[in-house]
Amino acid sequence: MSSQLLENSQIKLGFWRKTKAYFALTKPRVIELLLIATIPTMILAQRGIPDPWLVLATVFGGALSAGSANSFNCYIDRDIDKIMGRTKSRPLVTGELSAKEAYLFAWGLGVLSVVWLGLVVNPLAALLSLGAILFYVFVYTLLLKRRTPQNIVWGGAAGAMPVLIGWAAVTGEVSATAWVLFLIVFLWTPPHYWPLSLRYKTEYDAAGVPMLPVVRNNKTVGIQIVLYAWALVASTLLLIPVGQMGVLYTATAVLAGIFFVFESHRLNAEAAKGEIKNPMRLFHGSITYLALLFIAIALDPLFFFNLF
């Protein structure tokens, strides 16, 4: 009876509310974060301003790809989303969308992404988009997320795919510079996401998701965050010779890197004392850090003073 009422409530939803529910299924804030890296990557690949139409086409295709992966994730994780407080408002939990609607929507976005990028951008960008969706759905969501505390580490590979797609869109290939950009986003993901996992540790535990803060003590998590922070900063400096970056990027990478490492050590110091007061400070700081870094990547080719 209750399921019938739920289906009826889904049918009665207005057009705009239904549209909003589909939009929420794609996790737009995550998409926005991923696409922060795409346009600067394209500018660096072009060493100038790329064709605006190419930028729009790539961003649109990338958004479809990320939206598809996120929608599949919501479909697969609908059983645990209803347990966790921070995910209880997702449309599959509230009943605004049915599982069938979400599943078909995810497929639709994925197919449209691959076809769009293949026809409008180039085949390599389409192939990378397909790879990103498959990796996020099958490797991260289905295979790793509920089985290993290293889930988010390998999940970062899917999150780093937009830079490869952006580079391939401009050049038709994936060069060493593109792989360094991939490495930057890949190494950024754990110290970005683990503070969030610390904040919602009890919820992940209740849902049976073995995030690192759930299965290890805070001290171990703090050490891991520091190690990844240092590796991340090293990768941003590696981009200087590999990508032939100039003074603007170099200064930003060094100064922003000092900030990020400092914040990581601050959290680690609190963890060593047994209490982490505000892990979300590093979470939000990591977003600022990545944004500053990629803004510098975008501006550096436009105001270039060579170091090498």
Profile the chain (308 residues) by mean pLDDT over runs of 10 residues: 43 78 90 86 96 97 95 96 92 94 97 98 98 97 95 94 97 98 97 95 94 94 97 98 95 98 96 88 96 96 69
**Residue 275, both tokens:** 């209490």
- pLDDT at position 31 is 81
DSSP string, 269-299: HHHHTT--S-THHHHHHHHHHHHHHHHHHHH
The conformation of residue 119, written as its DSSP 8-state character, comes to I
- pLDDT at position 2 is 41
- pLDDT at position 35 is 78
Give the integer Cα–Cα distance in Å for 283 and 190: 10
Give the integer Cα–Cα distance in Å for 159 and 139: 13
**Residue 227, both tokens:** 């190690």
Q: What are the Cα distances from residue 287, in Å, to 141, 152, 162, 180, 218?
A: 23, 16, 16, 19, 22
- pLDDT at position 5 is 40
Per the CB < 8 A criterion, the answer to whether 286 and 33 are in contact is no
Domains with residue ranges and CATH for the chain: 16-172 (1.10.357.140), 175-308 (1.20.120)
Give the integer Cα–Cα distance in Å for 3 and 209: 27
- pLDDT at position 210 is 96
Per the CB < 8 A criterion, the answer to whether 70 and 25 are in contact is yes
| pTM given for the model | 0.92
Q: What count of other Cβ atoms lies within 10 Å of the Cβ of residue 147?
A: 11
- pLDDT at position 81 is 94
CA angle 67, 69, 73 (to 5 degrees): 110
Residue that has been written with the tokens 């360094």 in this structure: 180
Amino acid at 29: R
Nearest to 243 by CA among 187, 203, 298: 298
Give the integer Cα–Cα distance in Å for 158 and 174: 16
CA atoms within 13 A on the CB side of 182: 19
